[in-house]
Amino acid sequence: ARQYLARIEAANALNAYVSVDAARTLAQAAAADARLAAGERAPLLGVPIAHKDVFVTREWPSTAGSKMLAGYRSPFDATVVAKLAAAGAVCLGKTNMDEFAMGSSNENSYFGPVRNPWDHAAVPGGSSGGSAAAVAANLCVAATGTDTGGSIRQPAALTGITGIKPTYGRVSRYGMIAFASSLDQAGPMARSAADCAHVLSAIAGVDPRDSTSIDRDGEDFARHLDQPLAGADAARPLAGLRIGLPREYFGDGLSADVRAAVEQALSVYRSLGATLVDVSLPKTELSIPVYYVIAPAEASSNLSRFDGVRFGHRAAEYGDLLDMYKKSRAEGFGAEVQRRILVGAYVLSHGYYDAYYLQAQRIRRIIADDFQKAFAECDVLMGPVSPTVAWNLGEKQDDPLSMYLADVYTLSVSLAGLPGMSVPCGFGAGDRPVGLQIIGNYFDEARMLQIAHAFQ
Ligand code: GLN
């Protein structure tokens, strides 16, 4: 822990962490030491990790990257935080993120942008950009992230690390500052699928405090890692695996360098025994308008709690109560968050609800059904995570639409509630990392991690 704290300080220029408290970290490390000395052995005991600042923590401030919550202290720990602490992981601090997890570049943070460790001119992706940069620069062993429309997978891809968004409901959302509740899901970010498997085993499971968490027995996600798939052998460990390639993920918008790296990875999978099959997810492009209706709608409702009374920033001067709300929210929320609240309130308003929100919900159902049709022909899906490698800081900041379009390959997985992961698969333009996306059917995380591990 001491070594990692020193590395974090030396890498200040990345802006990956927003709060570090060495005394608290070292106290947790001492507690882990005592458990080790007492003979306890567990995969994460004493392992230094970091939490995205969207998870509330008693010991560190919890800001969600917003001025609204600057300095906020939670009276309790998120379930994910409590579970990792119980597993013996040592918290190094909280990582930077796009404000309220809204963004794809980590430029929407009140605490400033994060830089990509591979190239400081590049964005790290978002919204879990701080966690991704921290793992990529070895400023922690693993980090937590959240993915509402790609925020684990896309920054993992852009920084060359491994990240998995589990099936919706696999991991408790209790204590995760809410963005879009029907989409938000927590998951691990680490250097390998094996490391992700250990973290996921620690955080998954039903939680009485989150009614959408799913009641399934605890699973050891690392149990299959070094085995061939059922029916295969060590020489061809993935024999029998059918990998579906959604046609729409390899179309016009995909840049040539990313395509080449992904195709290279697919040829490795073929040599491991897998067969590649063509499939179609015809509504892929519609996932962008559907997501950017549903997510803002839910955000506008979730963020109503930040009124300057119960939570968060309160304007120094105001007239009546309404004026206090208005000023506090205008000062506390950044531009992207305000944009989402406006869009969300609009699509939910009387007269527009049917045309936008209800219509989006219908297409969301069709998107989920399309995945089930594809899974009738294959076991997992593969494709790119992001249509391009990391872009430069500032490049898309004034053009929210082009930022939204970069989410085209991740959004539909979130809308369907499916598990998806990003596995590093080489480098594209400017020697910037490329991620391969693996999409599984519901609750197929153990096999997805096994398939990723075979490649690594
Ligand atoms: N980039 C998407 C957005 O801005 C996804 C963010 C996320 O998954 N939290 O909403």
Looking at residue 310, what is its pLDDT?
86
The Å distance, Cα 265 to ligand 1 centre, comes to 26
pTM beyond 0.90, yes or no: yes
Which DSSP string do the residues of 18-77 spell out, in sequence order?
EE--HHHHHHHHHHHHHHHHTT---TTTT-EEEEETTB--SSS---TT-GGGTT---SS-
Active site residue 151: yes
Catalytic residue among 19, 52, 105, 327: 52
Looking at residue 218, what is its pLDDT?
79
Looking at residue 439, what is its pLDDT?
98
- Which among 439, 445, 380, 47 is positioned nearest to 218, based on CA atoms? 445
Which positions ≥6 away from 82 have C-beta within 8 Å?
A: none
Q: Which residues line ligand 1 (CB under 6 A)?
A: 101-104, 127, 147-151, 179, 295, 407
Vertex 170, ends 167 and 176: CA angle to 5°? Answer: 105
The atom of ligand 1 lying closest to the CA of 101 is 9
**Residue 265 CB: number of other CB atoms within 10 A?**
21
The Å distance, Cα 269 to ligand 1 centre, comes to 29
Output the residue whose Cα is nearest ligand 1's atom 4.
103
Looking at residue 276, what is its pLDDT?
98
Catalytic residue among 105, 127, 201, 412: 127
The atom of ligand 1 lying closest to the CA of 295 is 10
Mutate which of 407, 412, 414 for ligand 1? The one with the most ligand atoms within 8 Å of its CB, which is: 407
Looking at residue 189, what is its pLDDT?
99
Looking at residue 445, what is its pLDDT?
97
The Å distance, Cα 445 to ligand 1 centre, comes to 21
Mean pLDDT per 10-residue segment, the chain (456 residues):
98 98 98 98 97 98 98 96 98 98 98 98 98 98 98 98 98 98 98 98 97 91 93 93 98 96 98 98 97 98 94 94 96 98 97 96 98 98 98 93 94 98 98 98 97 97
The atom of ligand 1 lying closest to the CA of 183 is 8
**SS3 readout for 73-125:** CCCCCCHHHHHHHHCCCEEEEEECCCHHHCCCCCCCCCCCCCCECCECCECCC
The Å distance, Cα 249 to ligand 1 centre, comes to 19
Looking at residue 377, what is its pLDDT?
98
Mutate which of 99, 148, 403 for ligand 1? The one with the most ligand atoms within 8 Å of its CB, which is: 148
Domains identified in the chain and CATH numbers: 2-203 (3.90.1300.10)
Mutate which of 66, 127, 303 for ligand 1? The one with the most ligand atoms within 8 Å of its CB, which is: 127
Active site residue 127: yes
Looking at residue 394, what is its pLDDT?
96
